[in-house]
Amino acid sequence: MSPIRHLAFVFNAQKSGAAELATALAAIARTTGVAVQISGEPVIRPGWLQGQDACCVIGGDGTIRGVAVEAARAAVPVIGVNRGGLGFLTTFSDEEARANFSSLLAGACQVTPRSMLSCTAGAGPGDLALNEVLIKDEDGSRLVRLEVFADDELVTEYSCDGLIFSTPTGSTAYNLSAGGPLVHPHAEVIAMTPICPHTLSNRSIIFQHGVKLRVRPRSADARLLVALDGQRNLAVGARDTVEIAVAPERLRLIQRPDYSHFAIMRAKLKWSGSTAEEKRP
């Protein structure tokens, strides 16, 4: 990656130490001649990332999800520093960020793209999701009957509490909690997982890149909620069809040159096994 000369910081003010870390890293950036802008707002305004070489996000994975759509649309890569919980996306710790920040700014890193989903409901404007699109009953208390088509071919009709359409990145989130599969982040596919299906043979399905999925309610009085990343909802009419596909936009994540997806999985999910490097104190 080319050296970073313009850097945006977004920190989660609700996370302990996030504001202080943003100040410290911004000071490191300024000493190397990098122009800096900082926001502690949970949602950045459209266009705020224009002209930036990268965005350093300090908080948890939820903080990155709040920045992901703007970063993807502006093609601005993201450095994730963890001040939250598990942190699958915020892969730098506080200590790693402080120790390696000058090297990161100089371009000593790798940039990996993460696929996103595009979603529309009826004739309304569409939106993007980094983790998942959730479709369920509007008030959350009723069973829904949903018909799913893949490229105009009927898949099946579901009676369930809802459907989760997940990216590989989102496979470790709601999808995993609902019993869905873990998917490698480089596999640009869509995982569909039913929530509490009434047919026990209904299991997750992996759809290929390029598929166009359509979901429509089978009940005349259905009122659906379509939630993207648990942060934004689409307005859905009573008989609207929801369309989902892999989006052309990608979120680009800045990671250490030695970043290993499976090392992160072993650490975060408490899997067994470790390399010699991971055993070092």
Structure confidence by residue, pLDDT tens digits, 64-86:
999 999 999 999 999 999 997 77
Average pLDDT, the chain: 92
**Phi/psi at 187 (5° precision):** -90, 100
Residue (of 193, 241, 233) closest to 214 by Cα position: 241
Please, what CATH class does the domain formed by 116-248 belong to? mainly beta
pTM of the model: 0.92
User: CATH fold of 6-109+256-279, please?
Assistant: Rossmann fold (3.40.50)
Q: Determine the pLDDT at residue 277.
A: 54
Sorted by sequence, the CB contacts under 8 Å of residue 41 that are 6+ apart come out as: 10
Residue with tokens 């359409």: 165
| 54 and 60 Cβ atoms separated by less than 8 Å | no
Residue 273 has pLDDT above 60, yes or no: yes
Asked whether this chain's domains 6-109+256-279 and 116-248 adopt the same fold, the reply is: no
Residue (of 130, 117, 127) closest to 68 by Cα position: 130
Give me the residue spans of the domains in the chain.
Answer: 6-109+256-279, 116-248
Structure confidence by residue, pLDDT tens digits, 6-26:
999 999 999 999 999 999 999
Catalytic residues: 61
- The alpha carbon dihedral of 167, 245, 231, 50 has a sign of positive
Q: Determine the pLDDT at residue 101.
A: 96
Q: Are strands 213-217 and 205-207 parallel, antiparallel or unpaired?
A: unpaired
Residue 162 has pLDDT above 60, yes or no: yes
Residue with tokens 């008030």: 139
CB atoms within 10 A of CB 20: 13
Sorted by sequence, the CB contacts under 8 Å of residue 165 that are 6+ apart come out as: 117, 119, 132, 133, 134, 135, 190, 191, 192, 213, 244
Average pLDDT over residues 263-273: 87
DSSP class of residue 3 equals: P
Structure confidence by residue, pLDDT tens digits, 77-129:
999 999 977 788 998 999 999 999 999 999 999 999 999 999 999 888 899 99
Q: Determine the pLDDT at residue 220.
A: 74
Q: Are strands 110-121 and 127-129 parallel, antiparallel or unpaired?
A: antiparallel
Q: Determine the pLDDT at residue 97.
A: 94
Q: Determine the pLDDT at residue 280.
A: 45
Structure confidence by residue, pLDDT tens digits, 198-245:
988 899 999 999 999 999 998 877 789 999 999 999 988 878 999 999
| 55 and 78 Cβ atoms separated by less than 8 Å | yes
Q: ∠ CA(140), CA(143), CA(148), 5° rounding?
A: 105
Rounded to 10°, the helix 18-31/94-105 angle is 20
Strand partners, 160: 144
